Amino acid sequence: MPKIIGDSLADHRQMTRHRLFEALGQLMSEGPFDSITMSQIAARADVGRTAVYNHFADKETLLLEFMHYASGQFTQVLRTALEGQSDPIEQMRIYLRAHLELKDRYHLASGVNLRGQVSIQTTPRLREHAGMIEDVLLNILRSAMGAEAIPMQNPYMLIGLIHSALAGQNLPAPPAEREHTIRAVQAFILRAIGVPPEKAPIPSSRIRPIDDDLPLRNDAQAFLRCPVSHG
């Protein structure tokens, strides 16, 4: 009989699923999804291979559940970061920074990148997980239009354009370059949706040094702690 983790069977099931999600996320950061096997996922999660099938019928089912889980986690991070901020333009800056800093951890671009690596039946469902994240952005855009901070326009079209711009950006490792890139992307997108230039200044081409001993903000807790994470 497999070892039970947690205080109950329900805890065991939840913790096992979490291990499998974490394992799949790590493996997807290391290589393409279509090269990952259920045996690799089980080994990385430190659970029996047979136990994996007690939770997920196949690899693609696990992927879809993982994408839903990751999107939910990212949405919670976003909502926490946005608490107490009523200015829709500042909310947009927070959203853009979070997307740039945390997209690899939460595989936010995976819905696009995985289309050629999954079955035809699974492909349409890859976008389902994005809905909860898009709802956050939709509310920010509507608030910005309602406050006349940006011109009235089709918010659904803007969501696609904004996410396309974000998907192509990879942040450099050096802290100063990383921060400069984030601010440049923020300025570009804010201006593109109609924020006046004086409220979305383009950062200087001169990159200011940042303490190299600071840890890279590649996780949710660090993003929320960072004193400039809302800029």
Q: State the pLDDT confidence band at 231, using cuts at 50, 70 and 90.
A: low
User: Which DSSP state fits 203?
Assistant: P
* C-alpha–C-alpha distance, residues 204 and 180, integer Å: 8
Q: pLDDT class for 215, splitting at 50, 70, 90?
A: very low
CA-to-CA distance for 79 and 188, rounded, in angstroms? 23
* Host H or E run for residue 5: none
Range in 80-84, 199-203, 212-216 the model is least confident about:
212-216
Q: Enumerate the domain spans of the chain.
A: 11-56, 60-199
Give the C-alpha separation, 96 to 93, whole Å.
5
Q: Taking the model in full, what pTM does it have?
A: 0.78
pLDDT classification of 221: cutoffs 50, 70, 90: low
Is 51 buried (19+), middle (13-18) or exposed (0-12) by CB count in 10 A? Answer: middle
| CA separation for the pair 126, 60 (Å, rounded) | 10
pLDDT tens sequence across 80-115 = 999 989 999 999 999 999 999 988 777 665 555 666
Q: Of the CATH numbers 1.10.760.10, 3.50.50.60, 1.10.10.60, 3.40.50.150, which one belongs to the domain with range 11-56?
A: 1.10.10.60
Burial label, 123 (beta-carbon count in 10 A; 0-12, 13-18, 19+): middle
Q: Is there a contact between 70 and 129 (Cβ–Cβ < 8 Å)?
A: yes
Amino acid identity of 123? T
Same fold, 11-56 and 60-199: no
Q: Which two tokens stand for residue 176?
A: 């100063």
| Domain 60-199: CATH class, spelled out | mainly alpha
% of residues, the chain, pLDDT over 90: 45
Quick: pLDDT tens for 121-176.
Answer: 777 777 777 788 899 999 999 999 999 999 999 999 999 999 999 988 889 989 99
